[in-house]
Structure 1
Amino acid sequence: MSSAAAAQPILYSYFRSSCSWRVRIALALKGIAYNQVPVNLLKDGGQQHSAEYKTLNPMQQVPTLKIDGITISQSLAIIHYLEETQPNPRLLPQDLKKRAQVRMISDHIVSGIQPLQNLSVLERVGEKKMEWAQHCIKSGFQALEQILQHTAGRYCVGNEVSMADLCLVPQVFNAERYKVDLAPYPTIMRINKALLELEAFKVSHPARQPDTPAELRA
């Protein structure tokens, strides 16, 4: 491996992890080359629980990014670091009111929807995990649809891709996985469709990752 390759950031990721997908989109948008290390959340009892990985991420979650001599976990913390160190293209608007809206929508998804239907929670729920996931996503999407009706242009906040959009698309993917009826959320679906046309969202898609099972590849 060349010294240039060795200096590239390393992203520990799982192809279907929505949190990992957020970071992959950010890296793609900002044109940051990186090496990807798959962490299979299901294999071997969950590779995120291995002693080796736990030293990188004590929460035993993905993603984890090694960059610039530090190790960062939590997707929004990673995205904020990328934004502050490589601010072009912007993922946070310059306008402070729009910036607050972007953060609000991001937190709505990252704190109010996704954690309630992630793997560790569903394992605890047991037989009713599909029903539980659908309930959590529907409840969150009902609120999100109302919010976006006031903030959206082409994307979540106006007409520029922002951190909120990086959170939205993976969450819609989760909703589709859990067979949520998305007809009641036309604003969400319109924005999601527009974003999936962008190259950064395509190359980072779960169907196109190194660890994507062959039967799920695009």
Structure 2
Amino acid sequence: MTILHGYWRSSAAYRLRIALNLKGLDYDQISVNLKDGHQRDAAHKALHPQGFVPVLNMDGEQLIQSPAILEYLDETHPEPALLPGSAADRARIRAYAAVIGCDIHPIQNLRILQYIRSEYGQDAEGVKAWCQRWISDGFGALEKMAEADNRSGPYLFGAQPTLADIYLVPQMYNARRFGVAVEDYPHLSAADEAARAHPAFEAARPENQPDAPEDGH
């Protein structure tokens, strides 16, 4: 049995839900309530030493860190490929993922936002401004990358969803949460719209998860 330990609004867990759905792999979910701090419980830290999500139990393995798990899924279940094309194509797809996974998402996730609230006295507006600043900075670079690639779409890197879209869609979800003007990034917005219409992405939406609260917060 494949089990995903995650949280409905975790970007990293969202990525894995998309990938598992694209691969046609069945899985059960165990919710780790980040809002209530359950990621810091001893039981969860026994699964993930950093106290993060996601954790994936699959094929008798216990796997952590979404970039590593996504590559594992592509290596063990190669169709449809998340990293298709030539070596140069795969490097460019990884670059999209890295801008989001390394340079945008980590500095606007929950633990960072909690820290700037508690240590620097930022209120909700200050936190929102922080997120807007760094998301917009990264999106500006991604938009230029997409312009330079000049792919026909409809996805970020061509006719089929790839690892780039798996990273993009959760980050666009976060951008809308924090009031970023996503319409300022037409290539990203078009790819996001196309991906969200795909059944694998739709099923992975945070609001469609069993632990999503009725009020959406």
Cα deviation, 1:130-184, whole Å, max 9, x if unaligned, reads 1111101010011111001122322111222111100000000000000111222
- In the alignment, is the contact (CA less than 8 A) between 2:132 and 2:179 conserved in 1? yes
Amino acid at match of 1:192: D
**SS at 1:183's partner residue?**
helix
Residue equivalent to 2:49: 58
- In the alignment, is the contact (CA less than 8 A) between 2:156 and 2:187 conserved in 1? no
**SS at 1:214's partner residue?**
coil
Residue 42 of structure 1: how far off its partner (Å) = 1.1
Alignment partner of 2:95 out of 104, 108, 118: 104
Deviation above 6 Å: which 4+ runs of structure 1?
A: none
Alignment partner of 1:37 out of 21, 30, 33: 30
- C-alpha distance in structure 1 between counterparts of 2:55 and 2:200, whole Å: 19
How many percent of aligned residue pairs carry the same amino acid? 40
Amino acid at match of 1:122: L
RMSD: 1.1
Amino acid at match of 2:105: Q
Cα deviation, 1:79-128, whole Å, max 9, x if unaligned, reads 10010000011111131111111011001110010001111111111122
Structure 1 residue runs of 5 or longer lacking an equivalent are 1-7
- C-alpha distance in structure 2 between counterparts of 1:13 and 1:61, whole Å: 9
**SS at 1:207's partner residue?**
helix
Residue equivalent to 2:169: 169
Residue equivalent to 2:16: 23
- C-alpha distance in structure 1 between counterparts of 2:131 and 2:193, whole Å: 22
- In the alignment, is the contact (CA less than 8 A) between 1:125 and 1:132 conserved in 2? no
Q: Alignment length, in residue pairs?
A: 208
Alignment partner of 2:60 out of 69, 73, 77: 69
Residue 10 of structure 1: how far off its partner (Å) = 0.7
Residue equivalent to 2:215: 215
- C-alpha distance in structure 1 between counterparts of 2:101 and 2:133, whole Å: 16
Amino acid at match of 2:35: L
- C-alpha distance in structure 2 between counterparts of 1:23 and 1:215, whole Å: 24
- C-alpha distance in structure 1 between counterparts of 2:65 and 2:26, whole Å: 20
- C-alpha distance in structure 2 between counterparts of 1:150 and 1:16, whole Å: 31
Q: How does 1:1-218 map to 2 (within 5 A)?
A: 8-43=1-36, 46-126=37-117, 127=122, 128-151=126-149, 152=151, 153-216=153-216
- In the alignment, is the contact (CA less than 8 A) between 1:11 and 1:65 conserved in 2? yes
Q: TM-score, normalised by structure 1?
A: 0.93
Amino acid at match of 2:34: L
Amino acid at match of 1:161: P
Q: TM-score, normalised by structure 2?
A: 0.93
Amino acid at match of 2:85: Q
